[in-house]
Structure 1
Amino acid sequence: MPEESYGIIILAAGNSSRLGEPKQLLHFKDKSLICHVAEEAIAAIGSPVIIVTGSNYELIGSEVKFLPIQLEYNHHWQEGMASSISTGISALLKTNPSIRGIVITVSDQPFVTSALFRDLIETAKQTSKGIVASAYENTLGTPVLFQSQYFEHLLNLKGSEGAKKLLKRFKEDVAEVSFQLGRIDIDTKGDYQNLLNSKF
């Protein structure tokens, strides 16, 4: 594996309780959200791309079965996002122990692109920052890249803690990439209807 290789972990384990149906399988522009983000990740780096599933794992697995990705089931998905991050990183390190960094992304940001993933990686290389986050609506969030020195911190997250905790804790080591459409995600039926009615 090349020294500067990066992987992408797609978090898709939640049960979409506020929506009432699996958000990962919602369609936008003739494609499910999970297929969209997986295909953009593949276009950006080739491999390794890992999808972490939990609730609805069979449905999601069937949806992406033709894509060259690695599926990992999080047995503890109900405990919160931290367990999915740990599942993804552990699986990635098992097959790619010398990987330089990982991008953590979610399945309900419909405007994520391969270009954004590449921008995160290039910014990490150019700035030597340990973390590169997407910037939108006066906040930093996913997709977010972590260099390998942060893997242990990610593995030690607990419960509902997400990667944002580390963005605050190590803010002096964070670079930003603009992703204005990152503000659009899908949590409710209203969010989805707004997306379908949008001009994008």
Structure 2
Amino acid sequence: MTHTAIVLAAGRSSRMGTLKGLLPWQGTTLFEHQLQNLKESVFSDIVVVLGYKAEEFIPIVKKYPIKIIMNEQFHEGKCSSIISGVKTAVKSAETILITSVDQPLQSFTVNRLAESIAKSGGLIAVPSHQGKRGHPILFSAQLRSDLLSIKEERMGLRFVIQKHEKALLEVPVENDEIHLNLNKQADYINALKK
């Protein structure tokens, strides 16, 4: 079974005021933390979508056996990066994980998502901690065409999730990091205190 992971790292990080992916995180950077955890997971097809200041990330990416996609339309919003990544996912992929550079993930969490979809035949798996959903989101490759048709004005991935809510699995995990979304300096500072 092949699993694809798409790491979104093309944005301007304007709310943070500095490139989020290069912020220190658990002995490395947020960006490399994502890559290391994916490398240790069942996700063998890893795609990184770069855009703004891509040259800052390329030296890190080159240390890993992953694909780099340049999204020249990154200024149009996250949907353009997701679509670029999905187009690059291997055709044999059975699942597609979508994660942002500012949502730190753990290999055991994404492995549980992949295992849950494989066992249940569900279309979407989302981790939950203490009853609250978090990140990242794993999609069955059966939803590839839906993922390729997302639009900013239709709430992007939310539209796909709402459309297939009945086939969505909430996967309980003992990891409250699934709720982290490091958009602003305050979010990052608070996360470091944990």
TM-score normalised to the size of structure 2? 0.91
- Residue 129 (structure 1) shift: 0.4
Aligned pair partner of 1:82 in 79, 82, 85: 79
Give the number of equivalent residue pairs: 191
Gap runs ≥5 in structure 1:
none
Ranges of 4+ aligned residues in structure 1 off by more than 4 Å: 136-139
Distance, in Å, in 2 between the alignment partners of 1:188 and 1:131 is 28
**Would you say the 8 A contact 1:6–1:45 is kept in 2?**
yes
1:100 Cα deviation (Å)?
1.2
**Does the CA contact (< 8 Å) of 1:80 and 1:159 recur in 2?**
yes
In the aligned structure 1, how far is the partner of 2:77 from the partner of 2:127?
A: 22
Match of residue 56 from structure 1:
53
Superposed displacement of residue 142, structure 1: 2.5
In the alignment, the residues of structure 2 paired with residue 131 and residue 197 of structure 1 have an alpha-carbon distance, to the nearest angstrom, of 32
1:14 to 11, 17, 35: 11
1:195 corresponds to 2:188: no
Alignment of structure 1 residues 29-108 onto 2, 5 Å: 29-45=26-42, 47-92=44-89, 96-108=90-102
**Cα displacement (A) at 1:136:** 4.6
Task: Name the CA distance, whole Å, in 1 between partners of 2:76 and 2:120.
Answer: 35
Assess, with a 3 A threshold, how the Cα gap between structure 1 residues 157 and 46 changes in structure 2: closer, same or farther. closer
SS of the equivalent of 1:150 reads helix
Counterpart for residue 162 of structure 1: 156
The residue type paired with residue 11 of structure 2 is G
Asked whether 1:184 is paired with 2:142, we answer: no
1:127 aligns with 2:120: yes
Where structure 2 has 5 or more consecutive residues not aligned to the other structure, the ranges are none
Alignment CA distance shift 1:162-1:135 (3 Å): farther
Counterparts in 2 of 1:176 and 1:191: CA distance versus 1, 3 Å? same
Calculate the aligned-residue CA RMSD, in Å.
Answer: 1.7
Residue 178 of structure 1 deviates from its aligned partner by: 2.7
SS in 2 for 1:133: strand
CA contact (8 A) 1:23 1:33 kept: yes
| Structure 1 residues 171 and 83: alpha-carbon distance in aligned structure 2, compared to 1, 3 A threshold | same
Change in Cα spacing, 1:137 to 1:76, as seen in structure 2 (3 Å) is: farther
- C-alpha displacement of 1:151: 0.5
Percent identity of the aligned residues? Answer: 29
Q: Deviation per CA, 1:6-37, whole angstroms, max 9, x where unpaired?
A: 11111111111111111011011221001001
Secondary structure class of the residue paired with 2:181: coil
Residue of 135, 143, 146 corresponding to 1:150: 143
